[in-house]
């Protein structure tokens, strides 16, 4: 998750929000470093959006790009990641 936070933090430092973070928009390279995908909703802060993220990963329907959209999804991704890790550990034992 630190890698995802770093990538998203860099994007935010440039004045952009991804606006559609979810597990299907995150890949891992051979060293387990995150690669963020799906930049169709990536816009500068406060720019108009055509869609408002992926159902189940957004807290609300939103019309403009904002940092808080990514930040709230990162919290959900952390919880989801822990659940998935626990499921794998249970299957392996």
Domains in the chain with CATH codes: 2-92 (1.10.510.10)
Residues 48-75 pLDDT 10s: 998 777 887 877 778 999 999 999 999 9
Compute the average pLDDT of residues 40-52.
91
Residue 74: name the closest of 13, 20, 33 by CA.
20
pTM: 0.82
CB 84 within 8 A of CB 4: no
Residue 81: name the closest of 23, 25, 2 by CA.
23
Quote the CA–CA distance of 79 and 91 in Å, as a whole number.
Answer: 19
Quote the CA–CA distance of 14 and 27 in Å, as a whole number.
Answer: 22
């Amino acid at each position: 998750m630190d890698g995802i936070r770093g990538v998203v933090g860099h994007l935010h430092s440039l004045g952009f929000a991804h606006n559609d973070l979810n597990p299907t928009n995150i890949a891992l390279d051979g060293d387990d470093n995150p690669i963020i995908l799906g930049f169709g909703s990536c816009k500068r802060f406060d720019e108009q959006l055509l869609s408002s993220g992926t159902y189940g990963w957004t807290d609300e329907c939103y019309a403009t790009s904002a940092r808080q959209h990514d930040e709230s999804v990162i919290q959900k991704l952390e919880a989801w990641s822990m659940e998935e890790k626990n499921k794998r550990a249970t299957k392996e034992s």
